[in-house]
Amino acid sequence: MNNPNLNPLLAERWSPLAFSPEPIELAVLHLLMEAARWAPSSFNEQPWRYIYATIDDAEAHAQLLSCLVPGNQEWAKSAPFLAISVAKLTFTRGGKPNPYGWHDVGQATMSIVTEAMAHGLHSHQMGGILPDRIRDLYAIPEDYVPVAGLAIGRHGDPALLSEALQAREASPRTRRPASELFFHNKFQ
């Protein structure tokens, strides 16, 4: 059950598998990008980069879809917006390793997800990506690393999914209790 005291953009966020292929308005896509741009980051490095494709460019969408593991391709093919997040592993100033790059990419992605919710869109983040394929197809420099996939769109018809995916789509949204995640004064 969702917490009624939480901001609705957070309380109602979930990761559907059924997406409508209806394109997302260009102005909304720009707002999603702007949301990421304003995310916080260590030393204001903004180490996130996103490779994206929209469903109205079938070739680019198919190429980006091919960078997901087959299980994710099965349902993500209908999402009108697909993206791969990429983290810069070094600080721009001085070239030293940036151990916070992945964290900062996560913050930028959550900004995108929250902005998407504000526009009636849903998102599904994926760890199931093919980093070597992404690196090759998109010529990712060595000091960057593909992090995760992201699908965004309007919720679609779950009946169009396979039976196994329909079961996943209908499963309850659960979270661990805060007592398992937050520890006062010592790690447990």
**What is the model's pLDDT at position 1?**
44
Topology of the domain covering 27-161? NADH Oxidase (3.40.109)
pTM (2 d.p.):
0.94
pLDDT in tens, 88-115: 999 998 899 999 999 999 999 999 999 9
At 16, the amino acid letter reads: P
Q: Are 32 and 82 in contact (CB under 8 A)?
A: no
How far apart CA 41 and CA 18 sit, in angstroms, is: 32
Instruction: Note the helical H segments in 38-155.
Output: 58-65, 70-76, 101-118, 131-138
The structure tokens listed for 109 are 């992605």
Q: Which of 86, 32, 87, 36 is nearest to 54 (CA)?
A: 32
